[in-house]
Structure 1
């Protein structure tokens, strides 16, 4: 059973570390949410540490530049752990071979840059599907196109037993009012077709391991019961928090806005029905981070 709260400050004194999702919680892909920024600043002012835990397929430096561009101020967070970095580390260790077919947009070029934390990295060469030993998916070629358009290529890849490294397990995101497909939709389709997809972002363990490494870099000492995960994805943020044994604050006004009847705050009955259908729950829920 979840408890609906009106502000993060109602429960913040119970926690030392915040694992905060980005898209749908702190911004909509175009602009920052002022109330969410203020909430994170308040948490930090009380002595807390804010780790931005994102399923973005980008390296953290690229995520930081994106945040600055859309108006998320640097003083509301401490460090970033991205699905992109977690997946990059696996790729550079050779998890899907040396020659890879890349599914993604041109702005994902930074995904293939070296990483300091990976010693003896393999040399990655991007090739056509016919020459590939594996697939790296940072997102669709066109985020507005249905992932099923890739079915012929994925069938060919499955027939050759290629593994697909998914840099972002999210299925969709909302950019402003427009919904776009993410890498997770392609990976889910490949798995459905009988292929093997490898995941590194929420709700899977590798990104939480990376989060702990990032906090260690800051010399932040904490206990799991003093960590709160904040997110709007029931199958990513909330499921991941449950898997890690940490509390979660469900932002109902993001991806589940319509299903939870959120207008300022969620409709309690619709929220309960939504969580029951998902067979998941969060300790706390709120319409929007504030």
Structure 2
């Protein structure tokens, strides 16, 4: 059964590295959570290292720029690793061809335009209309505020008939932008699979993003890593699959399931909810603090 804790400091000395989610843990898409910032700063002051691991569909420099705009202090983290980083590697390797139909907004242009040095000598990946595409790259809906996966049914049916693979740059299904819940690329990828198409994933809970983090941080031992996140099917499932301990932040996406007090989840509601999903994170906390 998961152990409900009141602060990261209760267990922090058991770990050397945190793989910490951003949205719902460190910030709400608009501003950081002060207590979470302080908790990560304290962990680092005591010798720990923090990897901010996000399913954002953009290369990490864009994630860092967003954190700077939200005034998240640089001493909160050591490294930022995004789903966009891992998915970029696959795209430039040709996982879905060289001519792709991009589903997403202009804020994700860097996914295509900022070519990593190791791929600079490879043929270009160009964005084309669906009718000309060899594959699909989804970084999110065209209109993330108003669109739902069902809006893509006709186009996805056409893509499926042509045998196009969909590269999903962000496996998250939904996130909360302040008080507004929006769909992410993961919702589109899942819907495409429901229609019979094939989707490729590179962020949490899938192995590539964890492999990248371990490689860049020179990690060989999972026993001293703690994954922190509010996504049960991304952060917590991914940790379980990788053999990494997990701290489930209950006050994020699933907050309404655990009672009226976001800071203090109801233990029985939490136990039943986790059991129904067959996931058992070592620890749970209302808000990261």
Give your verdict on TM over 0.5.
yes
Secondary structure of residue in 1 paired with 2:255: coil
Equivalent residues of 1:16, 1:222 under 8 A apart: no
Partner SS, residue 91 of structure 2? helix
Deviation at 1:147, TM superposition (A): 1.4
Equivalent residues of 2:251, 2:287 under 8 A apart: yes
Residue 110 in structure 1 maps to residue 110 in structure 2: yes
Contact 2:262–2:287 (CA<8 Å) still a contact in 1? no
> Which residue in 2 is equivalent to 1:134?
135
Q: Which moved more, 1:268-277 or 1:155-164?
A: 268-277
Q: State the match for 1:70 in structure 2.
A: 70
Q: How does 1:108-187 map to 2 (within 5 A)?
A: 108-112=108-112, 113-118=114-119, 120-144=121-145, 145-187=147-189
In the TM superposition, residue 117 of structure 1 has moved relative to its aligned partner by 3.7
8 A Cα contact 1:20 1:50, kept in partner = yes
For the 8 Å contact 2:51–2:78, the answer to whether it is kept is yes
In structure 2, the partner of 1:248 is 246
Task: Provide Cα deviations, 1:131-163, integer angstroms capped at 9, x if missing partner.
Answer: 000000000001121111011110000000000
Give 1:256 deviation, angstroms.
0.7
**Contact kept in structure 2, 1:81 and 1:214, CA below 8 Å:** no
Aligned to 1:266: 265
CA contact (8 A) 2:167 2:201 kept: yes
Counterpart of 1:287?
A: 286
Distance 1:278 1:152 in 2: 32
SS in structure 1 of the partner of residue 117 of structure 2: coil
Q: Which runs of 5 or more residues in structure 1 are unaligned? A: none
Does residue 1:236 correspond to 2:234, yes or no? Answer: yes
Deviation of 1:281 (Å)? 1.3
Distance in 1 of aligned mates of 2:153 and 2:118 = 35
**Could you say what secondary structure the match of 1:242 adopts?**
helix
Deviations 1:102-127 (A, max 9, x none): 00001110001201243643310110
Tell me the equivalent position of 1:6: 6
Which 5+ residue runs of structure 2 have no aligned equivalent?
Answer: none
Aligned residues of 2:21 and 2:229 also touching (Cα < 8 A): yes
Size of the aligned set, in residue pairs, is: 286
Contact 1:94 1:122 in 2 (8 A): no
Q: Contact 2:214 / 2:220 at 8 angstroms: preserved in 1?
A: no
* 1:14-45 residue CA offsets vs partner (Å, 9 max, x unmatched): 00000000000000000000000000000000
Partner of 1:15: 15
CA distance, structure 2, for counterparts of residue 19 and residue 105 of structure 1: 27
Q: Deviations over 1:199-254 (max 9, x none)?
A: 000000000011112213xxxx5521000000000000000000110100000000
Corresponding residue for residue 217 of structure 2: 215
Give CA-to-partner distance per residue, 1:57-105, whole Å, 9 cap, x none.
Answer: 0110000000111121111100011000100110000000010000000
Look up the match of 1:190. Answer: 192
CA distance in 1, matches of 2:196, 2:26: 36
